[in-house]
Amino acid sequence: MTEMTRRSLLGASVLAAIGAATGCSGSSTQSGSTSGGATGTLDWWDHFSSFKRLNDDWAKTQSPALKTNVGHTYYDASKATQAFQLAHQANKMPDVYSNVIGLPLPALVSGKWVHEVTIPADVKSKLPKDAFTEGITQLDGKLYGFPMFSFRQSSTLVWVNKDHWSKAGLDPNNVPKDYAAFKDALGKLKSAGIQPLTLAIGADGGRIRDQVDDMAQAAGFPGYQGLQFTTGEYAYHHDAYVGVIEFLKQLNDDKLIMPGSNNFGVVDARTRYASGAVGTFIDGIWCAGGSKALAPTIVDKLASGQILVPTSGTDPWCYRGRPAATYFVSADSKNPDAAGQLIASFMSDDYQKGMVEAMDQPPLNLDQVASANVVDAYKKGVEYCKENVFLMPQAIVKNPAIARVDALRKPVTPHVGNIVQGYLGGSIKDLKAELKKLSDATTADRAQALTKAKAAGAKVSESDYVFADWKPGQDYGAAK
């Protein structure tokens, strides 16, 4: 396995001009095998820290099966997006890569990021029918991938170190659920001489953005990523968002967040937690596997709690869309057939078993987790997600022509994560005004995309984003 950073990728891109191989790094080694009649190289990159060992071993297993050397490279999730963007600009994308770019499928297709894949019938039969959705996993009838994970997941569970919490007189199996009780628990950790909390606030701000989106939903925001379901309007300046960010600011001002967290990427923060340097870490359902990969001894000390809510008794409900493809084949791949076969192999019984036991994102079939060889803290987190994460309405499901709008949309910055960084760091003074700017900028971007799509003949409108019949705390109907 190779671990790449932005710096090593940039260096490799420069060296490529004089014939050097991309990805060479003095401290890294390539996984894969040249046995079994390998005739070439198939590069596979992803950001799944929990799967590092599984994927290294799988690359070796698949090399003879595919008759090509499969090389697996892992990226820190906080750095993967930028690294992949640099590789795309340099026409040095791997054959297979994980879906971490942050663009909808139509934009990936129009931007020449992805190649159509063909999935064998026996693999398709293992997937639910709604795994194949126009505009999400396929476009104009062409399939570009399939989901491997359930949409019922969260990036914002509370993970605690049992030893630290017990030392502070706290019950690690009864993690506080509301802001006030949680803050009080952090105060007790601090009084016991333990660093209370860390979060991955730094890097590109992507992880804290996702977590604020989750916490805003649990605080009552009736939508996803600033978009209100019933009105179709962007409202990042909603009181739920303001309340979440103000809560984080309060924790930071009271020195309950570990120093340096405002600069921590995902691996930076998780390493502090896994090594025992901090008592609490807000992270995704995959924290168990990611922490185990960093420090195996942490496993027996893991305990988990639900996403935090403003007041006791509030339903911690969150909403997710239909799952997108987990992996893509690059448009640049010289061997797209073998790349597609590699992706298809991830649905084999052996890989699926290893995937569940790695304790990353939960599988499509959540019932597999109950009998799997995983820790109780992971099972508890999956059960929480199963009961409290619901299918949300999506414009692209209502009207597949929205794919033509999505292809014309552009990332809006500063996003919520950047705003959190600035507010906690002191460079942003008026939080609500900054969030209102984000609402307006995102609305304007959608408007320009709608205008261009209509001019090109797409039958779309703002009403496609309005779901007046949406109700909280339930899955939105598949036929709507």
Q: What is the CATH number of the domain that holds 448?
A: 3.40.190.10
The residues, ordered by sequence, that sit 6+ positions from 221 with a Cβ below 8 Å of its Cβ are 228, 235, 238, 240, 241
Q: What is the pTM of this model?
A: 0.85
Q: Is residue 48 part of a domain?
A: yes
Pairing of the two strands 41-46 and 69-74: parallel
Asked whether residue 116 falls in the same domain as residue 203, the answer is: no
Query: How far, in Å, CA of 93 to CA of 200, rounded?
Result: 27
280's enclosing H/E stretch is strand 280-283
Residue 202 in any domain: the answer is: yes
Residue 380 lies in a domain: no
3 state SS of 1: coil
Alpha-carbon span 137 to 131, nearest angstrom: 8
Residue 206 placed within a domain = yes
- Within this chain, do residues 333 and 191 fall inside the same structural domain, yes or no? no
Domain with 134, as residue range(s), is 2-146+324-363
pLDDT of residue 301: 98
Q: Both 140 and 45 in a single domain?
A: yes
Give one DSSP letter per residue of 365-426, joined into a string. SGGGTTTSS--HHHHHHHHHHHHHEEEPP-HHHH-TTHHHHHTT----SS-HHHHHHHHHHT
212 and 266 share one domain: yes
Give the whole-angstrom CA distance, residue 197 versus residue 301. Answer: 16
208 and 254 in a single domain? The answer is yes
How many beta carbons lie within 10 A of that of residue 433, not counting itself? Answer: 10
Specify which residues 157 forms β-bridges with.
283
Counted domains in the chain = 2
Q: Which residue has the tokens 């820790």?
A: 375
Residues 426 and 351 in one domain: no
SS3 of residue 46 by DSSP: strand
> What CA–CA distance (Å, rounded) separates 211 from 201?
10
Instruction: Please report, for residues 174, 195, 258, the alpha-carbon distance to residue 277 in angstroms, rounded to integers and kept in the order given.
Output: 21, 7, 9
Looking at the structure, tell me whether residues 104 and 213 fall in a common domain. Answer: no
pLDDT at 237: 99
E strands, 147-232, are 157-161, 197-198, 223-224, 227-228
According to the model, what pLDDT value does residue 131 have?
87
Q: Does 314 share its domain with 439? A: yes
Residues 109 and 20 in one domain: yes
The answer to whether residue 294 is domain-embedded is yes
CB neighbourhood size of 225 (10 A) = 17
Residue 36 contacts by C-beta under 8 Å, 6 or more apart in sequence?
Answer: 63, 64, 65, 67
Regarding whether 88 and 230 lie in a shared domain, the answer is no
Q: Is residue 371 part of a domain?
A: no
- Are residues 317 and 329 part of one domain? no
Q: Is residue 379 part of a domain?
A: no
Q: What is the pLDDT of residue 40?
A: 60
Residues 248/420, Cβ–Cβ less than 8 Å: yes
Residue 93 lies in a domain: yes
- 115 plus 216 within the same structural domain: no
Per-residue pLDDT tens digits of the chain, which is 480 residues long: 444 333 233 233 322 222 222 232 222 333 333 333 334 699 999 999 999 999 999 999 999 999 999 999 999 888 899 999 999 999 999 999 999 998 899 999 999 999 999 999 999 888 887 789 999 999 999 999 999 999 999 999 999 999 999 999 999 999 999 999 999 999 999 999 999 999 999 999 999 999 999 999 999 999 999 999 999 999 999 999 999 999 999 999 999 999 999 999 999 999 999 999 999 999 999 999 999 999 999 999 999 999 999 999 999 999 999 999 999 999 999 999 999 999 999 999 999 999 999 999 999 989 899 999 999 999 999 999 999 999 999 999 999 999 999 999 999 999 999 999 999 999 999 999 999 999 999 999 999 999 999 999 999 999 999 999 999 999 998 433
